[in-house]
Amino acid sequence: MTAPHPSAPAEPPAEAHRLLRDLWGYDSFRWRQGEIVAQVAGGGDALVLMPTGGGKSLCYQLPSLLRPGVGVVVSPLIALMQDQVDALRQLGIRAAFLNSSLSLDSVREVEAALRAGELDLLYVAPERLLMEGTLRLLESVPLALFAIDEAHCVSQWGHDFRPEYQGLGVLAERFPNTPRIALTATADDRTRADIVAVLGLEGAPQFTASFDRPNIQYRVAGKDNAKRQLLDFIRSEHVGDAGIVYCLSRRSVEETAAFLSENGIEALPYHAGLSHAQRQQAQERFLREDGLVVVATVAFGMGIDKPDVRFVAHLDLPKSLEGYYQETGRAGRDGEPSTAWMVYGLGDVVNLRRMLAGSTAPEWVQRIESAKLDALLGYCETAGCRRENLLAYFGQEYQGPCGNCDNCLNPPQVREMTREAQMALSAAVRTGNRYGAAHLTDVLLGRDTDKVRQAGHQALPTFGVGAEHDERTWRGVLRQMVSLGYLEAGEHYGLSATARSRELLRGGAQFLLREEVLRPTSNRRKSSKSAAAPADLPAAAQPAFEALREWRAQEAKAQGMPAYIIFDNKTLAAIAALRPSSLATLGTVSGVGAKKLEQYGQAVLDVLGGLD
């Protein structure tokens, strides 16, 4: 997918390898990081599309050090800037940020440091960058590069559109000689085209990584009693783990968080109805404490950098597969096994279809949204490999079975139920295309309810024709018919036959029902191991890992920083497994750079030395 670029050197300078080892403590580049660093360090532009956790930051941080001047990083994630800057300082990199959270004095300090050439990296919020004063200031100092992070925010089609981002076109005009590198974890073609157009990256090479997240296990189940299902899921597989639960409404956020807390799973609510301070606090606690669950509306999580989120659960359907991919992508940035778990039911499908039908957006926008919803529902209903379905949506060919989604692990039964679908259509049509799923089910099952009697529906030829199946099966049939567009939901949730349903009535189409698996057997039982420990940590290293974790928690608390900024779990686990007894050996562990070795090396050796 990379466009050839005449001047792109494929190899980064030797200095890049030295910095990678000395500052970050990494042995080698991942994927095409080396090429990207070479391209930008050489003065070229680049567009980088890489999934969350892929290693995007290094692609602009390293070239900022290799080139003279400061690297300017544009990011909409103001709340995270402090942590990002702290993390860089821990590596011995001179970094600062400019956004609306800073006092005037602090702003002056940062600007003075910038003028004095004392910064390697400067993080700026887009609205701050676009202020004339900031642009002038940047014109007066040497610049290494502009990195536009979360670049998909330029696109109106995405779910994270930020109007300020559209103003970033000014960078190409006013800083024509400064390289621009745009980075995003959103991969669809429309967003990509918008990024190129807005940021003036027409000639720039594009680096597109695989969007597969092999460590995430995708699971979707029928909604039965959502809160109870969620609790069972967490209890059986994710006790003590950090996780995010998404709900659509504030009320369900509050109720779900309270329900989990009452049942021994500490959970915080997060939604737009809370005060800024409350939201800030929930986010802080989630980042800094181990094993917290946040129950949130989609307002939570963009750019959540926490590497060890072990599960993302959806109690309501997201709006599109892009949204789903982004939200589930917040799990497992550290590459360790994680779960994307979702339940959905007939009511959700009907609701989304109705919302769309009631939309006042221009018709072409509605068409796009409707196509997005179809894709999402197709993903939910598929009996094939979910990973294959998801990646196909992003234009990536992937051949299942992946072995790590519910359908691959536990292939669902698929039953031909064309006759049943015809019965359901007939029930809808004969009752006047205006009754909801519950009533249609009663008619099909031949139930003698008040509503049935009042409407005289017991006299219909369809009455009771479906008695051979149970209610759950019929709800499954109806849900899938709405998902697939054979029935549509109108006013008062009434279901009516669509033009498409004629194919079914004429026998021109087959209706295959994916059997409900209400409670998919869990595929990964929790061992007695610590929740946060990486999956491959040998049992013998467990006590050392725990001791190091305890030390890290104290250290993080003392410095007021998230624990992972000191060392992430992977690095701690590697140290625990190696049990080094000298600084030199400790320095060989991936993730232990020179600065961290100097700052924490002795303390780590002391912890290990005091073990037995």
State yes or no: residue 338 binds ligand ADP (CB under 6 A): no
CA distance 489 to 353: 6
| Nearer CB in complex with Zn ion: 392/509 | 392
Residue 60: name its binding partner from Zn ion, ligand ADP, none (Cβ under 5 to 8 Å by kind).
none
Residue 57: name its binding partner from ligand ADP, Zn ion, none (Cβ under 5 to 8 Å by kind).
ligand ADP
State yes or no: residue 417 binds ligand ADP (CB under 6 A): no
Residue 408: name its binding partner from Zn ion, ligand ADP, none (Cβ under 5 to 8 Å by kind).
Zn ion
Element housing 243 (H / E)? strand 242-246
| Nearer CB in complex with ligand ADP: 340/440 | 340
Q: Are 86 and 36 in contact (CB under 8 A)?
A: no
Size of residue set near ligand ADP by CB under 6 A: 16
Which of 398, 373, 370, 369 shows the shortest CA–CA distance to 384?
A: 398
Binding mask 36-65 for ligand ADP (x = CB under 6 A): --------------x-xxxxxxx-------
Enumerate residues 514-573 that contact ligand ADP by CB under 6 A: 568
| Region from 27-35, 192-200, 460-468, 516-524 binding ligand ADP, contact rule CB under 6 A | 27-35
Size of residue set near Zn ion by CB under 5 A: 6
Token pair of 287, please? 């980042």
| Nearer CB in complex with ligand ADP: 63/269 | 63
State yes or no: residue 333 binds ligand ADP (CB under 6 A): yes
CB of 410 to Zn ion, least distance (A): 10
| Region from 364-372, 379-387, 468-476, 586-594 binding Zn ion, contact rule CB under 5 A | 379-387
Enumerate residues 284-313 that contact ligand ADP by CB under 6 A: 307
Enumerate residues 383-412 that contact Zn ion by CB under 5 A: 385, 387, 400, 402, 405, 408
Residue 30: name its binding partner from ligand ADP, Zn ion, none (Cβ under 5 to 8 Å by kind).
ligand ADP
CA distance 268 to 258: 8
CA distance 514 to 381: 7
Non-local (6+) Cβ contacts of 160 within 8 A are 76, 150, 152, 153, 302, 326
Place of tokens 């104290």: 554
Residue 9: name its binding partner from ligand ADP, Zn ion, none (Cβ under 5 to 8 Å by kind).
none
Please provide residue 162's backbone torsions phi and psi, each rounded to the nearest 5 degrees.
-125, 115
Which of 195, 200, 191 shows the shortest CA–CA distance to 171?
A: 200
| Nearer CB in complex with ligand ADP: 25/345 | 25
CA distance 223 to 319: 17
Non-local (6+) Cβ contacts of 14 within 8 A are none
CA distance 25 to 10: 22
CA distance 195 to 151: 7
Q: Is 99 exposed, middle or buried (0-12, 13-18, 19+ CB in 10 A)?
A: buried
| Nearer CB in complex with ligand ADP: 55/301 | 55
| Nearer CB in complex with ligand ADP: 84/462 | 84
| Nearer CB in complex with ligand ADP: 56/67 | 56
| Nearer CB in complex with Zn ion: 69/412 | 412
State yes or no: residue 548 binds Zn ion (CB under 5 A): no
DSSP states of 175-220 as a string? -TTS-EEEEES---HHHHHHHHHHHT-TTS-EEE-----TTEEEEE
CB of 511 to ligand ADP, least distance (A): 41
CA distance 601 to 586: 7
- Rule CB under 6 A: which residues touch ligand ADP? 26, 29-30, 33, 50, 52-58, 307, 333, 568, 590
